[in-house]
Structure 1
Amino acid sequence: MLDPDDTHQADLRSGTSPWHAGLPRPPGEELNADTRCDVAIIGGGITGAMLAEHLTARGLQVVVVDRERAGFGSTLASTAMLQWEIDLSLRRLSALYGFERAADIYRRSFRAVEGLRELIVRLSLPCAFHARDTVYLAAGEVGPRELADEFALRQRADLPGALLGHELLLREFGFDRAAAIVSPGSAEADPLSLCHALLAQAAMCGARFVRDEAVAFDGLGRSAMVALAGGRTIEAGHVVLATGYVMPDCVRTDLHRVASSWALATAPQQPQAFWRGRALVWEASEDYVYCRTTSDGAIVIGGEDEETDDVERRERLGPEKTQALLGKLAALVPGVEPTVAHAWSGAFGQTEDGLPLIGRVPGQPRLLAAYGYGGNGITFSYLASRLIGALIEGQEPSWFAHFSIDRPDPARP
C-alpha cells in the first residue's frame, strides 16, 4: 500500500489504493546544465513509462521529466481494468462516426490489449498481469434488446464474445441481470508495478529521469524546447506531453473535460465470493460501476462518477461514495464480505466521443500529446506509445485521425 503526500499529486487523487511499487523506479536527477535529447517526455506515469520503454527500445535518446515521484499521480488511482471495450458502445460510436470507422477503432483497441500482453510477457514485467474476460451487464436504459443490437454489431466487426440471457448469466456467473455480453481479450494488472517495471526497462536502455517541473514548451522551431522551473532547458527533436489529467494551456480542445471517480478495495475474500474466471465486470449504463479482483483476493469496485474536478468536493464526498459503492457491490455479489481495506478517488479525463486525444498539438509540429483516456487508461496508454512513436518516425497512416487532438466535436453540426 502506497499513499505518498506529494503536493501536486494530491490534486489528482485522494485516499489509499492497494497497488505496490514492485521494481525500484529509477532515481530522478537534477540538471546542472542545459541538455539535449531525441525525445523529452513530460510525465512519468503509465503513459510516460510506456513511451519511454518503447522509444528507448527503438534506439532514441529519451529524457523523462516529472515534478513528483514517477507513477504516484493518476496512475496510482487507476483500477487497471485493461479493456478493449471503450466507454461508448460500438452501437453509440457507430451512430457518431459510421460503422466502419467505429469498428476499426474497436479492433485497434482490441489489438492494443493484445500488444500490451505480448510486451509484458516478452519483458517478464512483474505487474500481477492476468488475462480476463469481461462481463458487460444490462443496466439502466440498456436492456436485452439493446445488448442484442450491440452484440450483432460486434459480430459484424469480427469481435469475439457471446450474448447471455438472464438464466444463463445467473447460472454461469451469479449475476442477477437481464442479459450480458461476455467477451475475451481483456486483462488486469497492478498499475504502479507496471509503470515502474517499464521505467526500469527504459533506464536499462539509456533513458534519463529528471525531477523538475516543465513550465513552458515550444514546438515550432527546427527542434522543440522545454523550460524547467529549475532554470534549465531541454532541447529535443520532439516533446511529448503525458501529464495525466493535468492538461497544459497549449493543448486546446472542446472535446475534453475532467471528472472525478471513486473506488474501493475490500479485504481478501473467500473463494466462494468470486464469479467465474474473476472476469472484469462493468455496466452498460452511462453512469456505470465496474469491478475486478486482485491477485491477493480482494474485490475492487469503482464508479459513482461526477462531473467535477473540485478537489475539496471530491474528498468531502468520499465517505458517501464509499458507502454507495459498497451497496452496489453487495447487490451485484451477494456473498461478498463488505470490509473496506482501501478507499480512494481521483480525477480522470474523458471526451465527448469516448476516444483519447493522441497526436500532434495543433500549431506545434514538434509537440505531441496524449490525453482524455476515460475508462481505458492503460489500454490507450499503450496505443498512444505506438501512435506517437510512429509520428516521431515520420509515419502517419490515415487511422491516426480517429484520435487526433483537433478532430471535430461530433455533437456539433
Structure 2
Amino acid sequence: MADEERNQMILLELVKQPHNSVCVDCGAPDPEWASYNLGVFVCFNCAWIHRNLSNKVKSIKLDTWEDSMVETMKSNGNAKAREVFEKAVPYYFYRPLPNDSTVLREQWIRAKYERLEFTGETKYPPPSYTRGFYEGLLWKKGKEKTQFNQRKFVLSETEFTLTYYTDDTEIKAPKAVIHIKDLNAMFQPEKIGHSHGLQLTYQGEHCTRNIYVYHENSEDIVTWFNCLRAVRFAYLKTAYPTGSNDELIPMITRNYLKEGYMEKTGPLQSETFRKRWFVLDAQTRKLFYYKSPLDAEELGAIFIGPGKNNYSVKECVPKSARGNKWKYGVTVDTPKRQYIFMCEEEKEQKEWLSALQQVVLRRMAPQDYASKLAFIVVCVAERNV
C-alpha cells in the first residue's frame, strides 16, 4: 500500500476516536480538517481561521500527508490539546458552538492558541474579564434614529451594573444604569449590520429594552461579551447560591430560539393584520413583537406557559381576516386569549410551530414563575399608565 493511502487510512481511523470526532474548537461533528502543528482535528470553518493564524492545516481526505505529520496527529489529538490549551478556562467564558458568529469562533481560537489565555499560567496584566470592572467606548444605535454614535460604557461587578454615558468624560449624569440581573447579551451581526454587532437586552420600567452596539475591533467586542458574562455569573452565584455551575452557565447569556416577521391581528380577530417582528425568548417563555427588528422597545409580549396550564400551539387557517398578505397560519392559545399569526412561507410556519412547541412542552421551572409574575406586574403597570 502506498504511503499516501496508508496515511489517509490512519487519519480516518484517528478522527473516529470519540475525542477527535468533533471539532476541537466549536464541537461541530465529523471534522474533516486537521492542524498538524497543533495535532488537532477541526471543522472547515475553524480550519479557515487556523490558516489565518498561520497554523498548518490540511484536509484529511483531500490533501497529501507526510509520515511526520501523521505521527504528530497520532501522538497528540484533541484530548491532549484541551489539557494544554483549555486547562484553565473560566466557567463563564463563552465556548462557541458550530452555528455561532465568526467573531466568537475566531477570538476563542486566538485566545486559546495565540494569546494562551487558558494554560493556567499567571498573566500580567490579567485578562479584562477576570477583573470585575471594564470600561470603554462602543458604537451605539440611537433609540429613535438609525445612526450609531460612540458612547462610554462602564461595567461593575461590585455594583452589578452596566452604565452608559453620552459624554465619555462622565461629567454628565449617566444616560442609563442597567442592573446586571436583567441583562442579556447576544451577537447579532446580520441583524445589526456589522460583523461585531452585539444586542443587549434588559427589563426597563414598563417594557423590555434593547441596545444595539458594536466595536471596530473584534477582540474588544468579544472581551465586552465575556466581561458581561463574568459579571452575570457572579450575580447568579449570589442569586442562586445552591445552584451548580452546570445549572447556572445556561442562564448567563442566551440566544433567542426564533426571530422573524409574522402578521398579527387584534384580540377580536377581525382587525387588520399588521406585519411585526417577533422574537421568542425560550428562557423567559416570552414571545415579543416589535414594529421592526432594531426597535429599542417592544410593542407587546405574550407569555407562553406549558401545555398542562392550557397553552397550546397549532397550525391554522383564519376564518376571516382583513389586510393579511400571508396565508400560513399559527395559533397560540393561552388561558385568556387566542392569538393568530400569519407567515409568508410554509417553511417559516413550520419553524415557528416547532420553536413555540418546544416552549409549550417544557415544564415550568422556578425562574419561569418569577418571569411570569414580573410579566403580569408589567402588564398591570402598562394598563394603569
Provide TM-score, normalisation by structure 2.
0.22
- The normalised TM-score by structure 1 is 0.21
Bigger relative contact order, structure 1 or 2 (CA pairs below 8 A, ≥6 apart): 1
